[in-house]
């Protein structure tokens, strides 16, 4: 009978230790879940703040003001637009690319339709700011 009592007591002690281990592990898991939920909440708040900042930065009015302040853009001059029939003809398909580029460069008139100034007519400027 004593052996039976010792076996039952040992079984009860083993069961108590196992229950304590399970309770301790579940407490650790609950703490981990709480930490993860807090981290998820912080990340959601950060995402909300980033979305608000993106909406502010992506505002078309703000972009237009910045473009006007920092970019030297001017309205298109109607003289910059030319008719399609004034475009140079396509080079033959068998011509190499270098010859095609040369043909386009040769076919251009001296007056540029975009209002640009040819390179030859621009006075050269030396490093000191004087024209040569």
Query: Residues 17-59: pLDDT tens digits?
Result: 999 999 999 999 999 999 999 999 999 999 999 999 999 999 9
Rg of the chain taking only CA atoms, in angstroms: 40
Q: How far apart are CA 88 and CA 97, in angstroms?
A: 15
Does position 113 have pLDDT exceeding 60, yes or no?
Answer: no
When pLDDT is averaged across residues 101-110 and rounded to a whole number, the result is: 62
Q: How far apart are CA 110 and CA 116, in angstroms?
A: 11
CB burial class (10 A; 0-12, 13-18, 19+) of residue 111? exposed
Q: How far apart are CA 92 and CA 89, in angstroms?
A: 9
Nearest alpha carbon to residue 81 among 112, 110, 104: 112
Residue 125 has what DSSP assignment? Answer: B
pTM of the predicted model, to two decimals?
0.44
Q: How far apart are CA 26 and CA 87, in angstroms?
A: 79
When pLDDT is averaged across residues 101-105 and rounded to a whole number, the result is: 66
Confidence at residue 132, expressed as pLDDT on a 0 to 100 scale:
44
Q: How far apart are CA 6 and CA 14, in angstroms?
A: 12
């Amino acid at each position: 009978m004593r052996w039976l009592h010792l076996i039952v007591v040992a079984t009860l002690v083993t069961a108590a230790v196992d229950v304590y281990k399970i309770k301790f592990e579940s407490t650790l898991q609950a703490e981990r879940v709480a930490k993860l939920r807090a981290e998820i909440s912080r990340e959601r708040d950060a995402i909300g703040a980033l979305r608000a900042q993106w909406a502010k930065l992506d505002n078309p009015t703000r972009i237009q003001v910045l473009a006007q302040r920092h970019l030297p853009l001017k309205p298109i001059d109607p003289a910059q637009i030319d008719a399609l029939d004034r475009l140079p003809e396509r080079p033959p398909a068998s011509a190499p690319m270098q010859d095609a580029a040369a043909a386009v460069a040769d076919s251009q008139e001296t007056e540029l339709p975009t209002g640009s100034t040819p390179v030859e007519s621009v006075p050269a400027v030396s490093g000191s700011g004087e024209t040569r």
